[in-house]
Amino acid sequence: MNYGGPRVCHHCRQPGHFLRDCPLRQVPNAAALLSGNGGDQGRAPAPQDNDGLLPAQNAIVPYRPPTANGGQGEGGRYNYQGVGQAHGGQQGQGYENNQGYGNNYRTGYQQRPRNNWWGDNPEEERDDRLERVWGWYSKEMETKDKERRAKEEKQKEEEEKKKIQATEEERAKAKREREEFEQSLGKMVRDNMKDVCSEVIGKKASTSQDTTAGRDDVARGEEARQEDTRRKQQEDRWSGRIRSQSTARETKA
């Protein structure tokens, strides 16, 4: 396409269609044939327009009907008659009775291989490419999604394991602290009981000793009183005897 000028076909230089839709793609120098003696609007056809083949203006080639191999005849040449009918409807020109272009342009040219740059069905090819790209992208995204889900599940499992381990450690720590508390409490109770028992036993011993000492004191006091009583009685007896003897002497005297 000529982007600087009118939008025409790159092959036949005619407006209204693109190269992939050109009905004259089988004709190697269609632009030169359509331009006539004056070229493409007064310009001589360039070698790239007609593949280096110059138009034979007065050449007369006998008519050859199209064959089953796409219009090729012997020697790789084909008849160009009827081109006007194929393209005359688009140009609004009256090309009838297979008269061709430029009055006497009934000539055959060597057929050029078809240009498959755009492919036979460019839309289908483009859709096929898009489908392949989308399939590859979908597969990649699915693989990444599976990897992400597997990673998340692994992280969740590790977190659950850590939580379970932390819970077990807390339970073991609480159990160990409770056992230590019970042991310390039992030891404290035993020590207190020993102290209490020692105090009770000491008080009992001191009480028994005090009781024994008191009893001894009472016994000694009782014995002292009895001794005093016996001494007084003895003294009284001696005093009575002395007085009686004194009285008897006085009476005798």
DSSP codes, 97-133: TT--BTTTBB---BPPPP--SS-S-HHHHHHHHHHHH
Percentage of residues in the chain with pLDDT exceeding 70?
A: 57
Residue-range domain boundaries for the chain: 1-119, 121-205
**Does the pLDDT value for residue 99 go beyond 50?**
no
- The closest of 36, 81, 40 to 55, measured between CA atoms, is 36
Quick check: 40 and 31 in contact, CB under 8 A? yes
Q: What is the pLDDT of residues 225-250, one digit of tens each?
A: 888 888 888 777 777 777 777 777 77
**Does the pLDDT value for residue 172 go beyond 70?**
yes
Selection from 78-82, 107-111, 187-191, 249-253 with the highest mean pLDDT:
187-191
**Does the pLDDT value for residue 134 go beyond 80?**
yes
**Does the pLDDT value for residue 180 go beyond 80?**
yes
Q: How high is the pLDDT of residue 9?
A: 86
Q: How high is the pLDDT of residue 147?
A: 93
Q: How high is the pLDDT of residue 194?
A: 81
Residue with tokens 């460019």: 122
Q: What is the pLDDT of residues 35-67, one digit of tens each?
A: 764 444 444 444 444 444 444 444 444 445 555
Whole-number Å distance between alpha carbons of 43 and 51 = 16
Alpha helices in 30-82 (DSSP H): 30-35, 47-50
